[in-house]
Amino acid sequence: MQKYTCAYCQKHACHKNDLENAPKNCPTKNEQERLKDIIKEYKNEENYKIAKTSAEVVMDNYGGKPRVKEIVDFCKQMGYKKLGLAFCVGLAKEAMIFAQILTKYGFEVESVICKLGDVNREEIGIKDCSVPMCNPIAQAEFLNGEETDFNIVLGLCVGHDTLFFKYSKAPVTVLAVKDRALAHNPLGALYLADGYMKGKIYPKE
Ligand code: SF4
């Protein structure tokens, strides 16, 4: 049986300072000591700055800025100078626009495409495919080599993004994730979970 069930919580007492009405297995109510220990992590200089800057960026014109602008504001306020952009070939046009925007704001932008290296898919055990494999480890390593202050992922596939996060030395954010079926809006499947998408996202009964 699972321990944490916040996804099914109807109270969200943690969000309302109302722990008296929290569910029985509420981790906010039941794991106070552990949470106190974890809060200490925010005293780490980098963590503190990231957390505080994130909150400030979100609160500034709350809900009124697209994520592109929030990323710009976050990077500016963090004092980052050199940014890495790890993008998918399928979003090359968007990558160019985004790189141009970042450059106009004064950032130095290192951008690396997913097909970096033109590596045959046989390297990962996939035969008879002329399309080169995606190479997120190379994307991360090349950006590491340029000592980027911060990296931004644009449209990497599920799992490729995982490897990029795993290998990136700089902290990372995501501008967009890959969803070929839904114009890179994966939440569309959840918005339509009771409708058109039902048969596509639930297991067959
Ligand atoms: S932390 Fe507690 S109150 Fe908050 S969502 Fe989870 S179960 Fe609900």
28 located within any domain:
yes
Are 74 and 173 contained in the same domain? yes
Are 168 and 197 contained in the same domain? yes
What range defines the domain where residue 196 resides? 66-201
pLDDT digits (tens, 9 = 90+) for 15-52: 999 999 999 999 999 999 999 999 999 999 999 999 99
Number of Cβ atoms within 10 Å of the Cβ of 191: 12
DSSP 88: -
d(CA 120, CA 135): 10
List the structure tokens of 159.
């799992």
pTM, two decimals, is 0.96
d(CA 44, CA 205): 48
pLDDT digits (tens, 9 = 90+) for 70-101: 999 999 999 999 999 999 999 999 999 999 99
Are 175 and 142 contained in the same domain? yes
Are 73 and 43 contained in the same domain? no
Domain count, the chain: 2
8 located within any domain:
no
Are 130 and 32 contained in the same domain? no
* E-state strands within the chain: 82-87, 108-113, 150-154, 172-176
Q: Which atom of ligand 1 is found nearest the CA of 15?
A: 4
Are 75 and 114 contained in the same domain? yes
Q: From the CA of 35, how far away is ligand 1's center (Å)? A: 13
Q: From the CA of 39, how far away is ligand 1's center (Å)? A: 17
Are 32 and 128 contained in the same domain? no
Measured by CA distance, the residue closest to atom 7 of ligand 1 is 26
